Amino acid sequence: MARVLVCDPTDAAALDEIRRAGHEVVEKTGMTPEELVETVPDFDAMVVRSATKVRREVVERAATGRMKLIVRGGVGLDNIDLEAASEAGIDVRNTPAASSVAVAELALAQMLACSRYITVADSTMKAGEWNKKAYSKGKELFESTLGIIGMGRIGKEVARRAAAFGMSVLFYDPNVDSAGDVQARKVDLDTLCRESDYITLHVPHTDDTHYILDKPRFDMMKQGAVIINCGRGGTVNEKALLEALESGRVAFAGCDVYEEEPVKDNLLARHGNVVATPHIGAGTKGASNRVGKEVASIIVDYFKV
């Protein structure tokens, strides 16, 4: 029997599945970093989403006890110190496919909200205003060009949905030669920035992707471009994006992720031409259920006798 520590909210049915396999499940969400360090040695596995940060101190403390497996319910692994886990001999798994559709749909929703003034039109209507003329100057996705930075699972799901809107799709990804069954043309990053009406990012935050969109690339974009980031904070230079919004080079931006989270008085999130959401890309019931099932499957299979 394994003892499983659940650090972030996880689908209840999935946890019941782990229990039915004979394992003990302990839910302790919202722990401070200090509490987490003290707790981890007594468990064989831990489950985290995006809130819990599994830094080197946590991994090294876990390695003094029983810990064998860390499961990240979600796509990215940037909240886990993978180098420390490897050194400690602790396996790390994630659920890359489970939330792809949810994130892709939010990216399209952000594009539509930016293009048709959805949020500002709604807020002014609720304030009793009727600004039909002001908000009847929107853009259509139809026959526009979408540039996707990162053609992994989520990027491909975005491309499939963009095709249904009649968009032409370009992509940049040095790790992918072809988009497979998705209609998309591979280009270099500068070409993508120059030719795209909409640009959406779906890459992890690494040394290679840090500020992959910065002032020089904003300067080469079409006047009135739209930027969507439902991937990871730190891939877009927020200060440079603000400057591009002020100059009109970038007309609108949809932001679900930020350089620092949770956001505190973030100028980008408060900008009038930004549709801001609080890192809810994977926040659907369907995605939560799929993530939970995959988490349960990983743990049950790993500790199968």
Over residues 61-96, the pLDDT tens digits come to 999 999 999 999 988 788 999 999 999 999 999 998
Give the number of other CB atoms < 10 A from CB of residue 166: 11
Residue 232 in tokens: 């990871």
Band of pLDDT at residue 242, cut at 50, 70 and 90:
very high
Show which residues are catalytic. Answer: 232, 261, 279
| Residue 299 one-letter amino acid | I
- The answer to whether 146 touches 167, Cβ cutoff 8 Å, is yes
* Domains in the chain with CATH codes: 3-98+285-302 (3.40.50.720), 100-276 (3.40.50.720)
The mean pLDDT value for 220-237 works out to: 97
- The answer to whether 176 touches 148, Cβ cutoff 8 Å, is no
Cα atoms in the 13 Å half-sphere on the side-chain side of 285: 0
pLDDT above 70 coverage of the chain, percent:
100
Over residues 253-298, the pLDDT tens digits come to 999 999 999 999 999 999 999 999 999 999 999 999 999 999 999 9
In terms of pLDDT, which residue wins out, 50 or 233? 233
pLDDT of 96 reads 84
H or E segment and range at residue 108: helix 100-115
- The answer to whether 7 touches 28, Cβ cutoff 8 Å, is yes
Cβ-Cβ contacts under 8 Å for 64 (sequence gap 6 or more): 41
Q: How far is CA 276 from CA 25, 208, 246, in A?
A: 35, 25, 17
Taking the C-alpha atoms of residue 86 and residue 88, their distance in angstroms, rounded to an integer, is: 5
The one-character DSSP state at 4 is E
| Residue 292 one-letter amino acid | G
Band of pLDDT at residue 17, cut at 50, 70 and 90:
very high
Band of pLDDT at residue 305, cut at 50, 70 and 90:
low
- The answer to whether 172 touches 188, Cβ cutoff 8 Å, is yes
Over residues 108-118, the pLDDT tens digits come to 999 999 999 99
pLDDT above 90 coverage of the chain, percent:
94
Model confidence pTM above 0.85 = yes
